[in-house]
Amino acid sequence: MGANLKEVRERIKSVKSTQQITKAMKMVSAAKLRRAQQAIQQMRPYADKLNEMLVSILSNLEGDAATSYGVEREVKNPAVVVVTSNRGLCGAFNTNVIKAAVAKIEQDFEAQRAAGNLTIICIGKKGYDYFKKRYSDCTIVNDYVNLFSDLSFDNVSTVSQLLMDGFKDESYDAIFVSYGRFRNAAVQFAEVDQFLPVPKMEKSEDDKAIRADYIFEPSKEELLDHLVPSILQTKFQKYLLDTHASEHGARMTAMEKATENAEDMMKELKISYNKARQEAITRELSEIVGGAAALEG
């Protein structure tokens, strides 16, 4: 019985230590989340409006050299960018982003994968660790795994520019991004978005697209040469800021649940400990009473 009490005491001590760690991690994630949430909430309206304008412009230009980022061609060499975190302990967040990317590949790019023409570009170690083990028949690019160490526009734009250049020189015929879209601290969801070519605006029932009335100054060609890459770079940075905020939101929620579970476990262990101690006391009293009765006899 003494050994059992000691074991329960050790388990209580272990769970309490774990709870202290999960509490600390929750506080750290909450602090990081505030900054990450502020960054994406400030950028999202701007990035969404720019993307809306880009889609509108390119959907209504025809036969213009400046629309090279909107050119649709047969997808022989697709690229899938998988944006995950570098660390775990954030619930199913990374798993969901990876599952979304896998579903896209299995649905649209199995033939290209079988031909060895699929490229998977990993941003974040969790995605890279998954795909390097299971997708050896694909080109796995890990040059940008640690991109989250610096999410400044200048640093992120070097990667988006390389992707854009790869699309222009036809190294990639289409580029999709699987990332974690941030809704709030408790809700994040995986999403696969078409980065390139720029999706065309949906047409109405009478097959007439809504034409945007833009006035270009300076010339249309000169302006689009600078405008389109800038908008695409902003859009790509939004993917990373979304994922960054989603990671910390998911980790904060996971650590909060872990802390609550540790509290419940400690309550159960304390009940078990008290029961075991009461049994030990009852047993000792019974032995004392039995010994006394034997002496009197």
Residues designated as active site:
90
Q: Which residues pair with 250 in a beta bridge?
A: none
Contact 97, 127 (CB under 8 A): yes
Structure letter (DSSP) for residue 97: H
For residue 258, what is the enclosing H or E element? Answer: helix 220-296
CA angle 168–174–175, rounded 5-degree value: 95
Strands across the sheet containing 174-182: 139-141, 119-123, 78-83, 174-182, 188-196
Other CB atoms within a 10 A radius of the CB of residue 85 amount to: 24
Distance CA 34, CA 11 (A): 35
